[in-house]
Structures are given as structure tokens and as C-alpha cells.
Amino acid sequence: MSQCPTSTSLPDGAYEALFTHGIDGFLLASPEGEILRANPRACELLGRSEAELIEVGRAGLVDRRDPRWVEAVERRGRDGAYRGVLRLRRGDGSTFPAEVSTALLPGGDTPLAYVSFRDMTAAEAEAARTAESRRAAAEVVDSLESFSDMYFGVDADWRITYINAQAEARLGVSRDDVVGRDLWQHFPDLLGTPFEEAYREAVRTRRPVTVEACYAAADLWAETRVFPLRRGGLGVYFRDVGERRAMEQERERLLTAERRARTDAERAQHDLAHRATHDDLTGLPNRTGLVQQVGAVLDRWPVAGMTLLFIDLDRFKLVNDSLGHAAGDALLAVAASRLAELAGSTELVARFGGDEFVMAMFDASVVAADRMAAAVIAALSEPVETGARLAVTASVGMASSAVPADLDTLLREADAAMHRAKDGGGGRAAWFDEQMHLQSVHRVRTERDLRLALERDELFLEYQPAFDLRFERITHVEALVRWRHPERGVVPPLEFVPVAEEAGLIGRLGEWVLGRVVEQATRWAHVPGLRVWVNVSPRQLADGRMPDVLATHLARAGLGADRLGIEVTESTFADSSCMAAVLEEVRALGVAVAIDDFGTGYSSLARLGDLPVDVIKIDRSFVQDLGTARGEAVLSSIVTLAHALDAEVIAEGVETLEQLRALSVLGADSASGFLLARPAAPEHLPMVLADPASARPQLHPSVARVPRELRVH
């Protein structure tokens, strides 16, 4: 502390003036504590007159509860002076803090003490306030530190003023490095982000702003609240919401996936429903679709009558086979659209598979139906360009009935009428009539009974042998199926095999026949070189399983493949070109293939060479023609050609000796027919010898009658 300069003494009256006008309270007292004088400021501060002060003395001015007083008394006693803060009492009993300085006045005979004091109320309050705000600030900082949220503050110049521990850790910075630094310089990745926008908006609007965005530099999805501070600058709270966002995103992803799955399922459901009722190729309703739509029309409108047009393209199979399926499909698609156009919005049209279409007309007169049939035939016979120019005709069968109609029956009737139109040469329409009705009823019954027949084991086989014309022995037998109907007696195959084919029962029937034939052939294993032929319908070959089925049967029975042959009709080859491949597989097994009823069907002699067959069975009708020059010429050329192709020729239906002779002369290899043997149960066949050891089959007497010189050797 510097010494007061003493060189210049105060002028006279200065002390008195300081005493009287001083800003501090001033008391003059005896060392014992009697107050001798008090200045006006002291009177003012202590709320007493000078006289009163003199009366209460120094001790009466102090708040004795103030612990500092004891210390003050001690200090003064020891040092003769004291300086410090004490609480003083006013005249009204209230107290106030005062900075008090007391000491003995130097000089003079009677020692005097002075007390000067000033009111510290305001200063103390200010100090308390400062302490409080310090404490509060410390508390804020503490709480900012203990926050789970992250926080940093910037001042009005974007200088970072504070950053809490969480923010340090998450942002990977240290407080010492960032505090005092420019926010944008230190975190340049904030520039151009929604965060920058939010900070600036908070500064501009003086309102808190909330923003949620990703701070890529720290791979941080932050929910941020920006508070403008009163003193300027910003406080920025933010929290990592990455997990929540990930959960939200996952939820969103799941929701989207679920939504997509639901849509997919609905679409699939719809597709399924559509596919179940519609035809893929033409988009027209299929059979199920037609049944549904007819039902819907009948439900909705007061319809009295319904007419069905069963439409079938003539010789469509030829198009398919010769030009390929693509051309066939194109043709069907065009046909479908032409029919749909004719049907308009009043009639229904559907595709029943293959080249069959059905149109349903409601309350149509016979004339209107006839007109529609003619329009259909005309429309379908218009040429179609599918790479090649195709022209087909169509056959239409018509049937009508009053509503409610049995749609199945009506369809069957229209179908039957269509077949009649076809039989009449195609390209025409025909109505279903009474006779057809009876036939169709009969057919329905046959189908129903046939199903039962398969279950009740009403089918049986007869075998008809064929004789080698050169070696005079039985070369093979043909298995022929029969049905012992409980009411109709024995039904011939031509009456039920076609029904089985149409009703989809031919597979089961064929399996049954094959099983029995293989069994029987095994029983005939002792007869040398005997082959058993079995008739197979085209539909049995369609799925391509025949080679496997045959192989399985042979293996199971332990039968040599050379003991079995299958007969197929010429129409088999007309149906599809892949049949030939299936038959090649059958032959590869060692099972022979015969073309049955040759000459009645579709193949021309010229095509014979393309057919994968071992045997040609000449139809009975040619045998009957023998005796005429033309008949013999035809037969002769078949035999010649067949032999040139290394195929055997068997003539069927030989009923007379003349026929047998003629066949022998023409060079047919074998013959069968009522003349030689009727189809019969296996036990009645001539080759069943009493003694299997002498296994040479008997020569049939009729064959024996053929003069030796006529036999071809």
C-alpha cells in the first residue's frame, strides 16, 4: 500500500468540511466507546440524531449477534485499529452491513478514536447476486455436462463458447480445441446443411428452431433444437436419433414390404381367379369362366331361352402340325378376336381349349342364331396372315333350350351338333336334333356306367390270332377289350372306347388292358415267337409316358419286349408330330409298333415311309375289295411298299377263303379274320396246347386249305 503524501497538509477547515459533508459516516469516540461527535452522514445511516448517538455510545451501534463483532473488538484492543465489515444497528432496530474502519487519532492529550463507516447493503447484495449467478452458471454447466443430450453454444460472432462432454465424444473433438474457434471453420461440413439453415433462422427470427437431419461428417442423425441466447449467439441441443430413425426406417421398410406383399398377394389372387376363368392365349373366358358368366346373366336378367353355338375350326390340327404351334396360336388368337367382335356386348364367347369356342346367345330366335352361325363361319373363313396366309373353315353346332337350362347338357348337345356339321364336310352349321338327343343321352349313360365298370371289373379281353401265311402258324394275337354290361350284355369296344377317350377314362382303361395283356403274354411264354398286340388310342400316347409304362410292365412281369406290340391308328400320326418320337422310343425298347386300319385314315401311301412302324395292318375294307381289280391293285401296292420299307403286312377281317388266297398271292405276311379265328378267351385259342412241351402251335385248318403252290415262300 502506498503512503499518503504528507508534504502538503490540508488547509484549515478541510477536516471540518470532510466531517460535515463526507460521504461516509464518521464518529468521534473516546477509547472507552463514548461517542463524542457524529457527522450528518453517520446520523443518516444510523437513523439517529447526534444526541441519540452520544447517548447510546459506540457499543449500542453494533449488532452484537454478528460474530465478526467479537473479532473486531479483539483486533481493536490488540492493534488499536480495525477494518472490516460489521452489521450496525439503526435507531429503529434494523441492521445493515457496513464497512467499518476504526483507529485511534494520533496526537493530542486525550486519545480519541474515530470510526468511519459506509453502508455496504448495495455492495453486499451485488456480491451476493454475482455469487448467485456464478453458482447458477456453474450449475447450468454441471447440468449441461450431466445431460445425455449434446450441447454446444456459440456467441453472436459464431465463436464456439462451450461444448459439453457428450458432444465432444460424439463429434470427436476436444473442448480445448474448439472453444473460441469459429463454428463454420471448425465444422465446415455444417455449411449447406439443414443445420446451417436452422442456426441462421434462429438468429434471424430470435425463436427456437427444431431440425432433424443427418450430419454426414459424424455419421450422425440428429434431432436438433437451436435456442437463441439472450446475450446473443445460440445454444444448440442435439441428440442422436440414429437408432430411432433406423427403427422407423425398419418399420417403414417392413410396412412397405408388407404392403407390397399384400398387393402381390392380391394381384396373385386376382391372377389366379382370372387364370382359373380365362384362357391365357386368347384372353377369352374358359369353360369355368363361361359357366360363371352365364350364371351371372341368368341371375341378373329375366332370360327365357339360351342358345349355344359350339364352334370348332376344321382341320386346325393340320395347321398346327404343318406350320407349328406358333402359327396355330396366332390363328386361334385371330379367331378369338373375330368371335369376340361378333359377340359384341350382348352375347358371351369363350374358348374351351384347342380350337373349340362356344358362344352363348340369350333369347335369340332360331333365325338370329342361324344368322350368327353364318356370320361366325364367314368371319372365321377369312384368311389369316401369320407369316403364311392361312385359311380355315369352321363347323358350328347349335343347341337351345328354355331357361333354366342344364348348361352341361346344352354344351354336349351343341358339341354333338358340331360333330355332325363336321361329318357333313365342315364349314357349315347344324342344329342338335331329337335323334342326336337320344345318342347324347346314351353317351352320358355309357360314360357313367363305364366309370363303374372300371371299378367293378366288368371289362375283359378276348384275343384274336393271326396266321403266318408262309409258315402256317400263329404269329401273334391281338387283344380286344369287351365290357360285360350288367344290363346291355357284352358291349363291343367301338361303343365305349371313344366314350372313354372323351371322358378322360382312356388312361385308366388302357392301363388295365396293358396290365392284363402283359400277364397273359407271360403265360404264353412257352409259345415260340408269339407276339401279343394291344390297341392303344392316341390319347394314351399324348403325355409321352407310354415308353416308361411299357418298360415298367415288361420289367415287372419279366417279359421280353419282343413279346409285345402296340397298334395305333393312322389318326395318331395326324394328331401330332411328337407322337412319332414317342413311338420311336417304344420301338427302341424292342416293343413292335403296328399301324392299324391302314388305308382308312389320313396317311397317304407316300407318307408310309415316314411312319415309325414295324407292321402295317390292312383294314378290313381293303380285304373286302379283293376280287375286284382295283382292290387287288391297291393291296398289291401297299404290300410292295411295306416290304420295301421292311415292314410286315397283316391283313385283317379275312372272311373267305378267296380273300385268304388272294392275300397269299399278293404276298401279305399274315392274316386274321373270322375265317381263321374269332376273337376268344385265351383258353379257347388254338395255340393252347395240351402239352406245352410240344410248343408248335397247330396250323389252323383254314390256312392249311390254302393250296401250297399259292403260298409265298
Compute the least distance from the CB of residue 492 to ligand C2E, in Å.
4
Strands 160-163 and 474-485 turn out to be: unpaired
Query: Counting contacts by CB under 5 A, is residue 597 touching Mg ion?
Result: yes
CA 158 to chain centre: 56
- Sign, CA dihedral 617-618-624-628, equals negative
Query: Counting contacts by CB under 6 A, is residue 547 touching ligand C2E?
Result: no
Strands 429-431 and 348-351 turn out to be: unpaired
Query: Counting contacts by CB under 6 A, is residue 367 touching ligand C2E?
Result: no
Q: Residue 679: which of ligand C2E, Mg ion, none does it interact with, CB under 5 to 8 A by kind?
A: ligand C2E
Compute the least distance from the CB of residue 261 to ligand C2E, in Å.
50
Which residue's CB is nearer to ligand C2E, number 183 or number 509? 509
Residues 654-683 that bind ligand C2E (CB under 6 A): 654-655, 672-674, 679
Which residue's CB is nearer to Mg ion, number 355 or number 652? 652
Residues 550-569 that bind ligand C2E (CB under 6 A): 567
Q: Residue 674: which of ligand C2E, Mg ion, none does it interact with, CB under 5 to 8 A by kind?
A: ligand C2E
Binding test (CB under 6 A) with ligand C2E, winner from 282, 464, 603, 659: 464
Q: What cell was used for 466?
A: 393271326
Do 462 and 679 form a contact (C-beta atoms < 8 A)? Answer: yes
* Cβ within 8 Å of residue 643, ≥6 positions away: 649, 667
- Rounded Cα distance, 355 and 578, in Å: 19
Which residue's CB is nearer to ligand C2E, number 243 or number 455? 455
Residues 232-261 that bind ligand C2E (CB under 6 A): none
Binding test (CB under 5 A) with Mg ion, winner from 567, 570, 625, 648: 567
* Cβ within 8 Å of residue 601, ≥6 positions away: 569, 570, 571, 574
- The region of 88-96, 130-138, 638-646, 649-657 touching ligand C2E under the rule CB under 6 A is 649-657
Which residue's CB is nearer to Mg ion, number 119 or number 597? 597
Residues 683-702 that bind ligand C2E (CB under 6 A): none
Binding test (CB under 6 A) with ligand C2E, winner from 116, 166, 537, 572: 537
- Rounded Cα distance, 240 and 222, in Å: 5
Do 557 and 519 form a contact (C-beta atoms < 8 A)? Answer: yes
- The region of 257-265, 321-329, 608-616, 645-653 touching Mg ion under the rule CB under 5 A is 645-653
Query: Counting contacts by CB under 6 A, is residue 480 touching ligand C2E?
Result: yes
Which residue's CB is nearer to Mg ion, number 535 or number 670? 535
* Cβ within 8 Å of residue 420, ≥6 positions away: 397, 430, 436
Do 660 and 641 form a contact (C-beta atoms < 8 A)? Answer: no
Compute the least distance from the CB of residue 619 to Mg ion, in Å.
6
Q: How far are the Cα atoms of 304, 403, 433 from residue 400, in angstroms, in the given order? A: 11, 9, 10
Question: Both ends of the chain: CA-CA distance in Å?
Answer: 161
Q: Residue 481: which of Mg ion, ligand C2E, none does it interact with, CB under 5 to 8 A by kind?
A: ligand C2E
Residue 119's SS3 state is: strand
Binding test (CB under 6 A) with ligand C2E, winner from 596, 625, 648, 669: 596
Q: What is the DSSP string of 541-564?
A: HTTS-HHHHHHHHHHHHT--GGGE
| Overall size of the chain counted in residues | 713
Compute the least distance from the CB of residue 595 to Mg ion, in Å.
9
Query: Counting contacts by CB under 6 A, is residue 535 touching ligand C2E?
Result: yes
Do 364 and 307 form a contact (C-beta atoms < 8 A)? Answer: yes
Which residue's CB is nearer to ligand C2E, number 115 or number 480? 480
Count of residues binding ligand C2E (CB under 6 A)? 23
- Rounded Cα distance, 309 and 235, in Å: 86
- Rounded Cα distance, 33 and 52, in Å: 14
Binding test (CB under 6 A) with ligand C2E, winner from 228, 465, 653, 697: 653
- Which residues contribute to the site for Mg ion (CB under 5 A)? 535, 567, 596-597, 652
- Which residues contribute to the site for ligand C2E (CB under 6 A)? 464, 480-481, 492-494, 497, 513, 535-537, 567, 596-597, 620, 652-655, 672-674, 679
